[in-house]
Structure 1
Amino acid sequence: MKKLIPIAVATALLLTACGNGNYAATQIPEAPKPAPTSAAPPAAAACDKTTELQSYAPEGALPAPMQMPDGTTMGKIQARGRLIAGVSADSLHLGSRNPISGQIEGFDIDMINAVADAIFGKPADGQPHKVELRVISSPQRIPSLENKSVDIVARNMTINCERWKRIAFSAEYYRSGQKTLVQRDSTAKSLQDLSGQTICAPAGSTSLDNLKKANPKIKPVTADTDTGCLVLFQQGKADGISGDDTVLAGDAAQDPYAKVLTERISDEPYGLGINKGNIDFVRFVNGVLAQMKTPPAAGGPSEWMKSYNTWLGTDLGKLTAPPTAAYGR
């Protein structure tokens, strides 16, 4: 079936980067290599499939907003006046630019705003969060943390041992899974039915690695962004897209000629990425996530559940609880 619809509108939205609040977001063309340092990096903890989701436990109660201890990573962020976060601007429902307001919004952005509010306090109604959102591609996530051009990354990033060698992660804040998007009239039921076909996955992603392992007979092609894969799919240069179900749900919402196969080929636990030397900040962020996941004493959904229901619940179904944090590092 030939498609007569335009290329994803999100592509045009990526051409201009503007920030959340009063700070101009920076679209980073290429993250520079980390500057050499004489200080030895923290020793890497042992990591395997039984421990890779373990992060650093929070230490006591969170300090009050605007009362971050001197010398801490949080204190430095407070002194700067804003949290700098690496995010996506083209992953619908996770981090994407609202075409009406021009603001980047989504589930991942809610996680970032909660961290900023814990440092600076919640803004008054109508006022922006003290966050600078920097639009980065999938391959730029880890380098941006290593060279400290951002404080934190919230860009549907899977926690795994290989990445723990270079950065630190928060506790798991969402459990995604890899699926495949194809044309609506496709008869395929699984990746095995797509042998010989061209499937797109973002460069530098676990989705690309999983795709190659799941069916070596597939012809993989990459793009730097989620929208890049959607563009290739809509141009007929890719027969499908393989990626996180969160991202593919957003792709399908933008293309009425697409569908997502039910086959789930992996679990993808998301963590917030942080420079591996800033362990105090990891512990702080984990304290923020723990608060978000806890329902209020008066009853009702937690802040985490409210965010999930707002951005992901309609497409991905009802959840009874957020993922449980694992500590032990």
Structure 2
Amino acid sequence: MTGGPVTGRRLRGRPRRDLLTLLLAGGAAITTACSGVTYADTPVPTPPATSAAPAAPATPATCADATASYDPLPALPPANGIPDAKVRAIRDRGHLVVGVSADTYLFAARNPISGRIEGFDIDIAREVARALFGDPDKIQLRVITAADRIPLLEKQEVDMVVRNMTMTCDRWTRIAFSAEYYHSGQKVLVAKGSTAVTLADLKGKRVCAPRGTSSLDKLRSVSGPVPVTAENHTGCLVLFQQGKADAITGDDTVLAGLAAQDPYTVVTKAPAITAEPYGIGLNKSDVYLARYVNRVLADVKASGRWRAIYTTWLAGPLGPAPAPPTAVYGR
């Protein structure tokens, strides 16, 4: 598990020292010289800033089912039986390159003691490495922002992105996804004692969401709140603690992690306002890799490994493991 929750008095006008310590730890570049998980260089985060007025959104793409992915392989092939050039190149390289978060507590956050990035998303990525190499540590974790996810996949700078990424029809026009591996929903985090429950209750209030996220798109579609943005949800938490944001919106799993770090906050009890199916992001041309990953995910769900990963990271704040999401195929 990652380091304990951030505690202390909520301050106005400046972030707390312990949270800044975690932020700087999250931005530090760590590379192991020996075999095992490695971490690509990551720049120190710049101070988050509020955004200018957004341009009018384009008409969203439509599709029959954004969760529908490619049929899984019938079985995982032996190393010498992989016909796809991209997957063979990954194996020849000797490790999988995965874009991840380093500050999404419980899903992918840097442990300030060990320096390792840990969480539900990381363990899912490690299962793909285990299947490809027989070793879950044959993986390089590249820390990226939410806004980086699609461009890096398009440029093929990462093999895949496992960063609590919602499957949408719009995103399918630019990248491919695995089958759904986790189901979340968008909620609101406020200060304890606040009477606000939903986004509609926050009329005239500043609500933060990270740039490049579907959470921000939904926030901007609601009349009343004043959107402010940051590079990631930790940046939103800093703005909240500085008094520059009155609430944060995002997936309930992410907000649960923020609330665990700041005891003066709470995730409201209102029902989720969206359905957020998480898929592993892939380059649009990597259909075979998508089918390979879907075989891995199907095996992880069937074997009970998915429930074990959930129990390790999420059972504490979210309760016992539900059934894994049902995969939809046929794309």
2:287 pairs, out of 279, 298, 305, with 279
Partner of 2:67: 53
- Aligned equivalents of 1:151, 1:326: Cα separation in 2: 22
- Aligned equivalents of 1:14, 1:28: Cα separation in 2: 10
1:18 pairs, out of 23, 30, 54, with 30
Q: Which amino acid aligns with 1:148?
A: Q
What SS does the aligned partner of 2:322 have?
Answer: coil
Cα shift readout 1:205-249 (whole Å, capped 9, x = no counterpart): 000111122x32100001111211111111110001000111100
Distance 1:155 1:205, change over 3 A: same
Q: Which amino acid aligns with 1:232?
A: L
Shift of 1:319: 3.2
Does residue 159 of structure 1 match 2:167?
yes
Partner of 2:306: 304
Partner of 1:85: 98
Shift of 1:48: 3.9
Distance 1:311 1:19, change over 3 A: farther
Alignment of 1:98-177 (within 5 A): 98-122=111-135, 129-177=137-185
- Aligned equivalents of 1:77, 1:28: Cα separation in 2: 25
Partner of 1:316: 318
Q: Number of paired residues?
A: 299
Preserved contact between residue 68 and residue 74 of structure 1 (Cα < 8 Å): no
- Aligned equivalents of 1:185, 1:290: Cα separation in 2: 43
Partner of 2:109: 96
| RMSD between aligned residues | 1.9
Q: Which amino acid aligns with 1:114?
A: E
Q: Which amino acid aligns with 1:12?
A: L
Cα shift readout 1:152-205 (whole Å, capped 9, x = no counterpart): 000110000000000000000000000100111211122221100000001010
- Aligned equivalents of 2:24, 2:43: Cα separation in 1: 17
- TM-score normalised over the length of structure 1: 0.86
Shift of 1:67: 3.6
- TM-score normalised over the length of structure 2: 0.86
What SS does the aligned partner of 1:172 have?
Answer: strand
- Aligned equivalents of 1:326, 1:218: Cα separation in 2: 35
Partner of 1:34: none
* Structure 2 residue ranges without an equivalent (≥5): 1-8, 46-60
Shift of 1:22: 5.1
1:6 pairs, out of 12, 16, 19, with 16
Shift of 1:29: 8.9
Shift of 1:316: 1.5
Q: Which amino acid aligns with 1:94?
A: F
Alignment of 1:33-52 (within 5 A): 48=62, 50-52=64-66
Preserved contact between residue 188 and residue 248 of structure 2 (Cα < 8 Å): yes
Does residue 228 of structure 1 match 2:241?
no
* Structure 1 residue ranges without an equivalent (≥5): 31-46, 124-128, 296-301
Partner of 2:48: none
Q: Which amino acid aligns with 2:328?
A: A
Preserved contact between residue 201 and residue 208 of structure 1 (Cα < 8 Å): yes
Partner of 2:250: 243
Distance 1:98 1:294, change over 3 A: same
- Aligned equivalents of 2:106, 2:231: Cα separation in 1: 18
- Aligned equivalents of 2:213, 2:22: Cα separation in 1: 20
Shift of 1:63: 1.3
What SS does the aligned partner of 2:27 have?
Answer: coil
What SS does the aligned partner of 1:119 have?
Answer: helix
Shift of 1:49: 5.4
Preserved contact between residue 28 and residue 43 of structure 2 (Cα < 8 Å): no
Preserved contact between residue 84 and residue 288 of structure 2 (Cα < 8 Å): no
Does residue 63 of structure 1 match 2:77?
yes
What SS does the aligned partner of 1:55 have?
Answer: coil
Preserved contact between residue 11 and residue 90 of structure 1 (Cα < 8 Å): yes
Preserved contact between residue 202 and residue 229 of structure 1 (Cα < 8 Å): yes
Partner of 2:53: none
